[in-house]
Structure 1
């Protein structure tokens, strides 16, 4: 049955290999069930309901990716997007989390339309590599700042904006230990290094950080506090440029880049293209919409799927295995509830460090490419807003190409986005 459904023999694999690959992928990305409720909880969302939504949408998205697109790519709420949702949109813009969920829903619908009508390729191809890389790097720096803040390593300071915190506090010390543990385990190629780091720091917190144990297994908490609580009307009232466009652009780059990268590593590209890319993108965008209905930030394909590919995963059975494991996680809510912010901070910081590795792909010799990229990456953490970083980057890119006589290099989509952001700054303000 599995062979017929997933074409295992044709892909040169078997059921055992695919399931082991699914377990490997799950272990590398299971940290999201602890991190996502922590981040969205900071935005005022009920953590227990977010935990359930995270498990359900990860299971649903991964299952659809496996059964519909037949790719070994797992899905879950995206890192970076959840931080933008919580800290920039809800806390920064003072938008209710229900309206932020509405913005995620609208961006997911736009993503579906872009996939159905073939606009995805036009948008992605029209945006230069330097800006795409810069957005990823800026997201990484944004996550790093959040991680250091949650660990108490960086704190607010009126004269200097930020300064080092009290490194004698148990939380800061445990976060540092956890980060070193995660990096060490990852270097030694231990499966689930991030998850092990989170669990280790949480356990140490019982002895040194005042953490309290509330059990391991229980019935799943209620999803009611977040289920169908999205407010689309309020999201659109705030302005589509402020929130929806950023969600859409980041989702688009993140999903496309991850899908192509993991498929390439699995040897599933034919002449540099994915045969079922549209199906994969529809699975991705459908999961975004489903996540907004369940009560979580944007869902996306996970680059950690590469670990499962490395373990031999080649078909959708790998993703389906991940889906089943996420459903099983619904019964460990008490464990998720005792994970403190300083335990998830090392995971955030490690992911942030990995997101900075693309800096080398920027054309530093060409200042019309390098400067807008640098502006994008720097403005995101310094303004605590991914939207502002993208806006400054696109406007700078278009302006420099125009002033240096290279306007013909700029694709129409850049002019449109730069013009929209310029209009926003002039007539609406920051």
Structure 2
């Protein structure tokens, strides 16, 4: 795939290879050089060098924030509780809780700081926030065994270990050892994953209850129909965004999100869909589309610095090691897979199929794990939703500066960002997923030792709702199939190590049960 740096000026008006594969020329217009090529801003972020412009970076950063902002609502619902006596409260071993307002404030704070830091140091348009999957692991698996402060201390330890692996060069070496077909599969799998996230968030795809009398795990809408107004808004946004992208309208994704948001605000007083919940399957999932009565709110940052290493005293050391190992592997490969997918989508992968400066990027990502644990927001990592901003034209860290500032502002402007319902933002994820799945063309499906690992990588991500699981399935099957067909010499030694680590990762439950018996 041609990189953005290789794009010739004469290609800008047409459909270059990069535009066709990354969506740069689709959603964000042609890759015309930025004005003011000699400006300090341009030189620092390499805006012209990457065929972008300040306008495209700002627009891309805004789109990334819009598609990521749900985390400020969702992370508190995963980690936080409204009251300790609430039946659904996430209490630790001593009955302690993190309150929803506290978690919301630190979620926005750490996301803003880490997104800014990554943009300024790594100069890539990859937004940061509390990693989904890791926060659930903390809330469901770790917290019942320790206190919240001790659980976050384990997240900090996980981050420190990641930094050590980066400093020794091990993490970068693993990143570079992944063969190109698997990197393409990771990018395509992430596309399928974020598409599935968008469909589920919008209620277009729903989990079927066991009482439904069917073995089908998911279905279309409600009883096979798009039976809710929020889902109808999603369909409107998806079709509008798809048309705009197909017509190569500049700002297509942002226009689609904005139009769907306006529609949701206009129709809610008429249809009274209400807030979604167990008793209202047709309501709005997270944010409620209404004009806010207030604009400002003061954040509660009391959780910053509230972590402890007491888990090493409270639990057997082998149990602590297994918990940290699970966190480490999920964090390590979620980020690696997302870096690969976003880098390919942005046309930033070089001719050797590597992401330039990946060492710095991985180091900052490790800092995100430490920062997230130290602030009780859970490990912060690069967000796959950044692909929406990339599709809008973002190519440099300037987009991250925009996204980061918006996250910091969100600490004070909670009523404003809650105006955008997730159903209005979800179409961006589906559209970007359609753009990213095109990476499958770089996979030789005639070679089954590549086809099966690539296929497993792509399908396991959405089916298990985990990037790390998809990468693990791909790596283990790749090593086994290549070795069993006499191609073991072509396997990078690090891939053997990683495959073995994933075998332990997949078996961590039985291992814990065996040790506890």
The alignment's TM-score, normalised by the length of structure 1, stands at: 0.77
1:130 aligns with 2:214: no
What is the CA–CA distance in structure 2 between the aligned matches of 1:388 and 1:276, rounded to whole Å? 26
Correspondence list, 1:29-428, <5 A: 29-45=64-80, 48-68=101-121, 71=123, 73=125, 75-77=127-129, 81-82=131-132, 84-85=133-134, 89=137, 94-96=141-143, 98=148, 104-153=155-204, 154-158=206-210, 159-160=214-215, 161-166=217-222, 167-187=226-246, 188-190=249-251, 192-193=254-255, 195-196=257-258, 199-200=261-262, 202-204=264-266, 206-207=268-269, 208=271, 209-210=273-274, 211=288, 212-224=290-302, 227-228=304-305, 233=311, 236=320, 238-255=322-339, 258=342, 262=346, 264=348, 277-294=358-375, 295-300=377-382, 302-303=386-387, 306=390, 319-320=400-401, 322-423=403-504, 428=509
Using a 3 Å threshold, how does the CA distance of structure 1 residues 38 and 342 change in structure 2: closer, same or farther? farther
Query: Secondary structure at 1:200's aligned position in 2?
Result: helix
Segments of 5+ residues of structure 2 without an aligned counterpart are: 1-37, 81-98, 275-287, 512-517
Deviation at 1:341, TM superposition (A): 4.4
- 8 A contact 1:103–1:244 mirrored in 2: no
Query: Secondary structure at 1:219's aligned position in 2?
Result: coil
What is the CA–CA distance in structure 1 between the aligned matches of 2:237 and 2:196, rounded to whole Å? 17
2:26 matched to which residue of 1?
none
Q: Structure 1, residues 91-132: CA drift from partner, whole Å, max 9, x if none?
A: 8x6444958755654443333223322223311122223333
Query: Secondary structure at 2:218's aligned position in 1?
Result: strand
What is the CA–CA distance in structure 1 between the aligned matches of 2:356 and 2:467, rounded to whole Å? 32
Using a 3 Å threshold, how does the CA distance of structure 1 residues 424 and 139 change in structure 2: closer, same or farther? same
Deviation at 1:50, TM superposition (A): 4.7
Higher relative contact order (CA 8 A, sep 6+): 1
1:27 aligns with 2:80: no
Query: Secondary structure at 1:77's aligned position in 2?
Result: strand
364-373 vs 378-387, which moves further: 378-387
- Structure with the greater alpha carbon radius of gyration: 2
Deviation at 1:422, TM superposition (A): 2.9
Using a 3 Å threshold, how does the CA distance of structure 1 residues 182 and 261 change in structure 2: closer, same or farther? closer
What is the CA–CA distance in structure 2 between the aligned matches of 1:331 and 1:287, rounded to whole Å? 22
RMSD: 4.1
